[in-house]
Chains A and B, each alone.
Chain A
Amino acid sequence: MIDIRGLTKRFGETTVIDGVDLRIAHGERVVVIGPSGTGKSTLLRCLNFLDRPQAGQISIGDLTLDAARASRAQILALRRRTAFVFQNYALFANRTAKENIMEALVTVQKQPRAEAEARALAVLAETGLSDKADSYPAALSGGQQQRVGIGRAMALHADLMLFDEPTSALDPEWVGEVLDLMRRVAARRQTMLIVTHEMQFAREIADRILFMHSGRIVESGPPEQIFGAPKDERLQRFLSRVGA
């Protein structure tokens, strides 16, 4: 169970996340949609403390932290329970595909190398990239890099996987393979919080859709309701604009 209360993030005078409350059940797959600049990515980044929220409470399992007073140790503990998939992949440029996945297992989780390597190879097999184990990111296509990025997050067995627009930076030809991999992750009932503009995909895999506007969750519900019978006028306008 993930419980977020009153999460607030300001950049200078601008409030980007305006007291967001959100509960996510174990195994729930939640997709965040909404216009650009409404704080969707910032919400995800705050849950990983890549952006530090000014206020709010975040609970994941037995870890609870108060954003305003979070200690360094608490922030590390939070990051170790979450896994982040970046829009621009952000693979470690000095590590091969296999080493990218092993890095957190060896350095952070202190697994023996052999065990970490075995897990990394297993994850690479799931992402269909076994033959790229020893390739550096620069030698991989965008789609392959993002599949390694998702593999790196999968290997952590995190309580919550965060996907920050994972297909937005991809050439159209690579989007399909990345969404396919995410479908496979979702099929395992991994708890996921996904920011995406892929409406068809959201409709397909989400248990719940959140519509964000101006730093707030304006409407939330199952996909049929959000896409079939949107109540909020801003959501209706957004959906007609994106053609969903």
Chain B
Amino acid sequence: MRALDLEYMLGLVPVILGYVPLTLFMALVGMALALVLASLLAVERVFKVPGLDWLVLLFISFFRGTPLLVQLFLFYYGLPQVLAFLTQINGVTAAIMGLTLHFSAYMAESIRAAIAGVDRSQWEAAQSIGMTQGQMMRRIVLPQATRIAAPTLVNYFIDMIKGTSLAFTLGVTEMMGAAQKEAAGSFRYFEAFLVVAIIYWVIVEALNQGQKRLELFLNRAYAR
């Protein structure tokens, strides 16, 4: 057994950190899109739009029922063979698409549960003052559901950040890809991947701290 080459690791840190913005970019864009899509899916699940409900159920079932890696390969390597216009899609776009679709299916279920958790009296009060269904959802129900769903949604965001490492398999040079390239030259695979692991860990821990603040903020209206 040889000792860890700490000097090599320290030298690698700034190199890998250079790819953190790309990781965060994929995760943030994916999360924003997934939130929008998941909210739409959840609202459909609550109101059960005739003719659309089975499609939404099928979507959720497929994207929860198959591995993210398989979905990414389907999008990036598979679909362009069927749909010609997709050949121009680059790895980053494909990764964001895959992460969005995959996580929106999970998030839709937790948002749906959160919507169901908003007290009936809140819906009735909104209806009684003559709000349309859209106004009621946007102004009263969804904001309150957000608070209920927030802890789980932050968890999905953490999963999504870690999920961006799979973009490596689509030829994207992100943190994993960079580490792989560095290690291929130095043969210090353990050190290289350990640096990647530690950087992910630090990002996720920082987010956990952020989650505590977010929950305090979201709970401000409910404090006695």
**A residues lining the B interface (CB < 8 Å):** 48-50, 76-77, 79-80, 82-84, 86, 88-96, 103-104, 107-108, 136, 138-139, 152, 156
Contact = CB atoms under 8 A, between A and B. Distances in A.
Interface string B182-224: 0000000000000000000000000000000000000011111
Contacts of A90: 121-122, 124-125, 128
Contacts, number: 73
9 contacts: A48-B127, A76-B130, A82-B128, A90-B128, A94-B143, A94-B144, A94-B147, A104-B130, A156-B129
B166 interface: no
Given A90-B121, A90-B124, A136-B221, A103 B129 contact: yes
B139 interface: yes
Given A76-B130, A79-B130, A138 B223 contact: yes
A96 to B, nearest CB: 8
Given A93-B221, A94-B143, A94-B221, A84 B132 contact: no
Interface string B114-151: 00000101101111111110010001100110010000
Given A94-B144, A139-B224, A108 B131 contact: yes
A91 B125 contact: yes
Interface of B, secondary structure class, is helix
A93 B222 contact: yes
B139 A107 contact: yes
Contacts of B139: 103, 107
A108 B125 CA distance: 13
Q: Please indicate which of the listed interface residues A83, A95, A107, A108 has the most CB atoms of chain B within 10 Å of its own CB.
A: A107
Interface residues of B, number: 23
A136 B143 CA distance: 15
Nearest to B146: A94
B129 A139 contact: no
Contacts of A77: 130
Contact of A84 (B128, B131, B140, B222): B128
Contacts of B224: 138-139
Nearest to A76: B130
A93 B222 CA distance: 7
B52 to A, nearest CB: 19
Contacts of B125: 84, 86, 90-92
B119 to A, nearest CB: 8
Give the top 6 A-B pairs by smallest Cβ distance, nearest first: A80-B130, A104-B129, A84-B128, A90-B121, A90-B125, A79-B130
A92 B138 CA distance: 13
Contacts of A156: 129
Nearest to A73: B132
Interface centre among A49, A94, A139 (most CB of B within 10 A): A94
Contacts of B135: 107-108
Nearest to A109: B130
Given A83-B129, A136-B220, 8 more contacts: A48-B127, A50-B124, A50-B127, A86-B128, A92-B140, A93-B144, A107-B135, A108-B131
A138 B144 CA distance: 14
B132 to A, nearest CB: 7
Contacts of B121: 86, 88-90
Contacts of A91: 125
A51 B213 CA distance: 41
Contacts of B131: 104, 107-108
